A and B are shown apart, each in its own frame.
Chain A
C-alpha cells in the first residue's frame, strides 16, 4: 500500500503541473474581466440595455398599458386574453412576471457601474451613455410601480454569489422620490444636449418622462415646469401631422417627425418579430385583442378624424365586419397604398415610447387641474384641429372633471394602443367607472355570472408566483393569492 502511495504522489504532482491544460476560457463569449475596456464596449454595453427593453416591451407594451382598459377586449384563440381583459389576472399570468423588466434594470446597473472605468472614453460620451442608463432604469421602475405598486429596488449589479440576492419591496412613493426622479434628474444633467436620436434616450425623452412621472404623483406644478422645459428645447418638438400620411409617419418613420420623441427601433432579422403583430395586428386576423366598442364608437363618432383611418381599416367597418386588426404601426404597401399586415416573425413595429402630443396633453391636464382651463383647451383644440377633428367648445365643459374627461378622451384617440390608456385610467382614478360596466357586459356575453370588477385592489397586478418562489421576502398584492 505504501508503495502505491509513493507511486501515486509523483503522478499527482505531474498532473498538477498540467493546470494550463485545464485552463479553458470561453471561446464564443467573454469572461467578465475582458469586457468594459474600450469605447466600443461602452457602445455595445449600452445597446444591451435597449435590447432588454425590447424584450420587456414586445409582449407587455399592449398587455400592460392597453389591454386591461376600454381600448381592447379579448379576441382570437386562447384564454389568456380573456383573463387579462376580464380582471382575471393571477400569479401565474405570464405578463405578471417582471423578469425581463429587471433584466433591463440590471443591464443599466452594469453600465452605470462600469462606464466610468473605461479610461479612453471621452467625458461627453461617457456622460451620454450614463444618462441613457439612468433614464432607462427610471423608465423601467416607473412601469414597475404603476403595475405592482411597491417593488424591490436594485441600483447596483448583483456580482457576488455570497451576497443575499433577496430584497423586499420598497413602497411606490419612495421608489418615485428616491429612484425615478433622482435618476431622471441625473440623466438630464448628463445627457448630451446636441444629440436628438429618436431611437435612444435624449433630452426630450427625459423631460417627457419627468412630466409623466410628475403627473402620476399629481405634482401638477412640476409637470407644467417639465413640459415647459420640453417645449422650449432647441429641437422644437411640436405636433404637426395634419394628414393620414404624416400621422402614420410618426410611427413608421419616427426619425423624420417632430412628433416622435423616443421610439424603440425594430429589425426582425436581429430582434425577432415585434409581438404587436400577434397582440393587435395579426396578419391572420386572429389578434389576441380586438378594439373594444367604447374606443371604437369614439373613433366612429368623428369620421373626419385622420386618426381613425390610421388606427384601423375603415373598409372593414363599412362592410359591417368586426374590427379585429389594428394597423396603426404598419408601413404602407407601395402598390396598394394600404398598410400591410406583416407575419408575426417579420414584424418591424417601432414602438412609440414618448410623443409630443402625449406631453402636450399631459400639460393640458396639469393646466386644467391648476385652473388654467383656457390653456388646456388651447392645447386640446390645437391637436384636434390638426387631426381634422371638430374643435371642442370650452363652454360646454363646466367642471374641472369634465375638462379632464375631455382630455382623457383625446388621449385615448391620440395615443390609442400606445401603452397609455390603462395608466391614464389608474392615474385619474377612473378604472372602476370605465371598466365595471364593460366587464359586466363581457360577463353577460360569455354567460358568466355578472359580478363586475369586484375588487378595486385588483387595479394592481399580482406578483408572479415565479418571483414569490425565488424571493421569500416578497409579499403578494392583496387580494391575489399569497
Chain B
C-alpha cells in the first residue's frame, strides 16, 4: 500500500508545482507568505577549536532565507520554525556545520577550521567536481557577484570578473553585440567565441538567459578542463547553471529597477563659426559670408538633438520551491531599455521554467525551458551619429512648420534618419532541455538528455522618401533567419571511493547534434504606401530569395579522475568528434588531455605552515582541443547561383572560395600550470596561472592568386601561439558582525603571436598586417611626422635625411638649406607621392624605404589593437544592512583607430565638416607650423588610411559599476509579512579615465584579422538607477 502511495503523493506535488506556476503568473502567491510560522527562539555562542569566540558567522535556517550573523561576542539569536529545523553555521575559513534544533533552545557549536569555500562544487563538463579536486584552470562567478551589477545580460555580468576572460562590447546600443575571448585569440577565421553550455546543453541561446536566473557561471580556460567538449572547446568553455528550486515553502522574489542614462561624453564639434572658418580655408577666400539662405543659416548642436535621457525599466519575478521529490523554479523578466539616441530601444521578455522530479532514489528527470522575445529598433549609428558629427552645423534640421528637412547637399538629416528610418528586429528564441537519470548502483549513473532550440529573427528595414537624395525613392527589405538546433547525449557517471584513500571518477558518453539555418530575404522599392510596410507594398521586388544550410556532428567522450587522499589528483578528459563540415577522410578528430594536482598543504612536512596556510595546491595540465567553426560546406567545391544573372539567365559559377576536401580540425594544444594558495583561514586567497596555447592547422581562407579565378582557398595550415599569465586575489580584510569588506582583484596578460601561415603569404587587409612572426591585430600604415611648413621644406639630403630651409628676412625660404644646424650644399632631393611633389601643407610621412616616393612600401607596423593586460577590481563593504560595492575594469595598452575622426577630416567632400581642432589648426599659409594638413582635396593623400595621426591609445580605467544597497532590518520586514526587502541605488559607467578622443575606447574584438576600428559607434551611456528586491 505504502509503495503505491508514494508516487501518488509525488504526483500531487507535481500538480501543485504546476499550480504554483499558474499562481505565479497570476500573481496570487502573496498569500503564501502568511503561512510563515512564528517558531522557536534559539540562542548560542559560536567558538572555534581553540575556544575563541567567532564574530560574523552566518547562521541560517536551512531551506529558507532566514538568517543572522554572530556578534563580536560570538552570540546569535534566531527563530527556528519547529523542532525539525536545521541550523546551518558557515564562515569563511571554517567547514560548514549543521545542527538539528530538536528540543534545544541554546546551541553553541564549535567550528573547525576548514575550507568551506573549497568544499564548493564547480560544474565541469558532464558532472561536477569538488573545488578542492580541480586540477585545471576553472574560474567561477556566483549569483551574488552577478547581482551586484544590475546586468542586462550574461556578458554584461561577467566583464572583469574572471582573469583571462576578455569581454568587449561593440557599442552602447541596446542589445549590442559582445566579443568574448578566453585567453586571447587562437584562430583566424575558425570562430573565436567560447562554447556555452547551459545546464549541460550545447546550443542554448545565451542572449535569452535572464542574468537573474543564473546560479553560477564556470569558465573552463585550460585545455584539460575544456577537452571534454573536444572539437568546440579550443576557445574555452563557459558553463552556465540556472537556478533550481530549494526544498521548502515557495519563495517568491520580485525585483524592480529603473534607471536613467545619458551620453557620457560629448565630442567637441564644429559650430557655425568654425564652419565658416573652414569654408574660408577651403575656398581660400578670406571673406566669411553668412548665407542668406535660411537652409544654411542655423547653428545646430547635433549631439543634443540626437541624444536623450534614456529610461530603463526592468521587472523580474520568480517563484521557486520544492519538496523531497520535486523542485521547481519559474522566472519571468521584462526589460525595457531605451537607447540614448532618440527612437532606439530594445524590449526583452525572458521566461524560464526549471523542474527536477525524483520519484524514487534510482530515477530522476527534469527539464529547463527557456523562452525569450525581443523587439528592437536598431538605429544605424553610421547614418545618424556619424552624419550628425559631419553635417555642417549651419544646415537646417527643421523647416519653420516643424517638419524635418530632407537631405541637403548630400548630407543626411540625422534627426530624420533616427525618426523615420526603420530597422526593426523581432527575435523569438525558445529552448527546451530534458533529461533523465537512472542510478544503476550507488556509484553508476546513466543520463540521457536532449536539447531543442528554435530561434527566429525577423528584420524589417525601410527607408522612406524623405531620406532619399531625390526625395522620390523609398526602399525596404524583410529578412528572416530561422535556426533550429537539436542535440542529444547519453553518458555514464561513475564515482567510487575505494578504501579510505582512493577515489575514482569516470564519465563515458556519446552525443550527436544537428544545426540548421534558413535565411529568407526580400527587398524592394517604390512602396505603394509608406504606412504599409508588409512586402505586398513593394512595387518593384529587387530580391526574393531563401537559402539553407545544415551541419551535423557525432561525438564520444570520457573522463577519468583519480585522487589519493585528496592530496594527489589526476584527471584525464578525452573526446572524439566527427563533423560534416570536414572532408570525408578527415572527419574524425581525437582530443585527449590530462591534468595533475598536488595539495602540498596536506603533506605532513607542511604542518608547520598550518596556522596560516589553509590550502596550497599546484596544478599542471596539458591537452588538445579543436575548432570546427567554419562554413558548413567549406570542404566542398561548389557552384553557386542567384547573384550571377545575365540577360535573364541565372548564371551558375564556381564559388570563389576554393573548397578543400582535405579540410580537417584546427587543433589547439595548451599547457597550463597553476597555483592555488589560501591564507589566514581563507581570508586571503591567490590563484595564479600560466599558459601556453598553440593552435596548429589553422582553419582560414588563405588568399589565392586571383588569376586562378578564386579569391581564397580554405586551408588547414599555419600556427598561432597565445602565451599568458593570470592571477586573482580574493581578500576579506574585515570580517566582523556589523562590518565586512571583501576585495577581489584579477589581472591577465596575453600575447598572440602568429607563428606560420599558408605559403607564408602575409594577410593584408585595409589597416592590418598579419604575418609570420607578428602579433595578431597589428596595425599597418603610414607614420605621420607632421606637416611641411613651406613648399621648400620638402627637401632631403642624399641619404633622405630631412633638411631645414633657411628663412630670409621676408619670412620666405631663401632656397638655402641647413642640416643639423650647418649649411648644406649638396644635392637636394624631393619627395613625391601619388604622382606629385609634396609641398607646404602636405603631410610629412616617414620615408621607410628611402626613395623618392612615399608609397605603400613605406607603411610600417603602427601598434597593436589588443590590450597588453586587462584587470578587474571588485570591492564590497557591508555595514549592518548597508552594502556598498563597486568595481573597476581596466584595459591597458591597446591602440584604436579613430576612423570616425579620420573620416570627418578627410577634406574630400565639401559638406563634411571636420573636427574643430582640425579646422582651427589646418595649415593655411606658407610657414604655418601645425599637425593638421591643409584643407584641400588635392590628391596628395594627406588623409590616407591608415595614418598614425588617427591611431590612438585606447587604454582606459572604468568605474564600471557602483552600488549602494540597503537590506531593511528583519524585524520591520517581518511586520509586513515579508522575508526580506532590499533597496538599492546604482550607477554604471560613472567614470572613465582615458586619453582616447572619441566616445569610448572599449570595443569588441570580433574578427581576429580586423580588430580595433572605431567607425563612430553608438556611444556608451552613463546610467543612474535604483530599485527594490522583495522576497516573499
Instruction: Point out residues on A near B: beta carbons under 8 Å.
Output: 1, 4, 7-8, 11-12, 14-15, 18-19, 21-32, 34-35, 41, 43-52, 54, 74, 77-79, 82-83, 86-92, 97-99, 102-103, 105-107, 109-110, 152, 154, 157-158, 161, 165-167, 199-200, 265, 267-271, 283-284, 286, 343, 346, 443, 446-449, 451, 454, 458, 465-467, 469-472, 480-482
Contacts and interface: CB of A to CB of B under 8 A. Distances in A.
B576 A110 contact: no
Interface in B558-599: 558, 560, 576, 578-580, 584, 587
Interface string B810-824: 000000000000000
B605 interface: no
Contact of B910 (A77, A152, A267): A77
B705 A448 contact: no
B638 A44 contact: no
Contacts of B560: 1, 4
Contacts of B638: 26, 29-32
A292 B548 CA distance: 50
Given A470-B703, A470-B705, A29 B639 contact: yes
A88 B646 contact: no
B708 to A, nearest CB: 4
Contacts of B647: 47, 50, 199-200, 265, 267
16 contacts: A12-B556, A21-B580, A31-B639, A32-B639, A50-B647, A102-B709, A105-B707, A267-B647, A269-B541, A270-B645, A284-B469, A343-B468, A343-B470, A448-B938, A469-B764, A480-B855
B837 A89 contact: no
B289 interface: no
Contacts of B707: 98, 102, 105, 152, 154, 165, 167, 467, 471
A166 B702 CA distance: 14
A69 B556 CA distance: 67
B836 A158 contact: no
**Across chains A and B, which 7 residue pairs bring their CB atoms closest together, nearest first?**
A106-B709, A82-B939, A48-B651, A88-B835, A270-B645, A47-B649, A158-B708
* Chain B, interface residues (CB within 8 Å), range: 35 or more
Contacts of B636: 25-26, 31-32
A102 to B, nearest CB: 5
A28 B548 CA distance: 6
A82 B938 contact: yes
A90 B856 contact: yes
Given A18-B512, A446-B939, A471-B705, 20 more contacts: A14-B510, A15-B510, A27-B550, A28-B549, A31-B639, A35-B639, A46-B651, A47-B651, A48-B651, A52-B644, A83-B834, A86-B836, A99-B706, A161-B661, A167-B705, A283-B469, A343-B469, A448-B837, A467-B705, A469-B762
Contact of B540 (A77, A154, A269): A269
A26 B549 contact: yes
Contact of B908 (A8, A43, A78, A467): A78
B640 A29 contact: yes
Contact of B508 (A4, A77, A451): A4
A12 B576 contact: yes
A28 to B, nearest CB: 4
Contacts of B910: 77
Interface string B646-687: 111111111110111110000000000000000000000000
Contact of A448 (B653, B839, B857, B909): B839
Contacts of A467: 705-707
A44 B650 contact: yes
User: Looking at B469, B647, B761, B856, which has the most chain A CB atoms within 10 Å of its CB?
Assistant: B647
Contacts of A28: 546-549, 642
B850 to A, nearest CB: 13
B709 A90 contact: no
Contacts of B508: 4, 7-8, 11
B633 A29 contact: yes
B473 interface: yes
User: Looking at B468, B547, B654, B940, which has the most chain A CB atoms within 10 Å of its CB?
Assistant: B654
Contacts of A481: 849, 853, 855-857
B506 interface: yes
User: Looking at B506, B548, B633, which has the most chain A CB atoms within 10 Å of its CB?
Assistant: B633
A272 to B, nearest CB: 9
A26 B558 CA distance: 32
B905 to A, nearest CB: 13
Contacts of B323: none
A458 B855 CA distance: 15
A447 B512 CA distance: 69
A265 B646 contact: yes
Nearest to A268: B542
B106 interface: no
B644 A48 contact: yes
Nearest to A111: B653
Contact of B836 (A14, A107, A270, A443): A443
B464 to A, nearest CB: 15
Contacts of A49: 651
A102 B706 contact: yes
B958 to A, nearest CB: 37
B473 A343 contact: yes
A30 B909 CA distance: 45
B644 A51 contact: yes
Contacts of A41: 652
A87 B550 CA distance: 50
A482 B548 CA distance: 44
Contacts of B705: 152, 165-167, 467, 470-471
B704 interface: yes
Interface in B822-878: 834-837, 839, 849, 853, 855-857
Nearest to A154: B707
A57 to B, nearest CB: 12
A105 B762 contact: no
B632 interface: yes
A22 B646 contact: no
A471 B711 CA distance: 12
Contacts of A89: 835
Interface string B692-720: 00000000000111111111010000000
A21 B660 CA distance: 20
B985 interface: no
Contact of A47 (B506, B632, B642, B644): B644
A77 B705 CA distance: 32
B851 to A, nearest CB: 8
A271 B646 contact: yes
A97 B707 CA distance: 11
Contacts of B506: 4
A98 B707 CA distance: 8
A388 B254 CA distance: 88
Given A82-B939, A110-B654, A470 B761 contact: yes
A105 B837 contact: no
Contact of B649 (A43, A152, A158, A480): A43
Contact of A15 (B578, B651, B709): B578
A21 B841 CA distance: 66
B558 A4 contact: yes
Contacts of A7: 508
A291 to B, nearest CB: 19
Contacts of B855: 90-91, 480-481
Contact of B837 (A25, A107, A451): A451
Contacts of A472: 761
Contacts of B512: 18, 21
Contacts of A92: 856
Contact of A48 (B553, B653, B938): B653
User: Looking at B636, B661, B762, which has the most chain A CB atoms within 10 Å of its CB?
Assistant: B636
B708 A154 contact: yes
B644 to A, nearest CB: 4
A90 B834 contact: yes
Contacts of A446: 936, 938-939
A271 B855 CA distance: 35
A347 B637 CA distance: 34
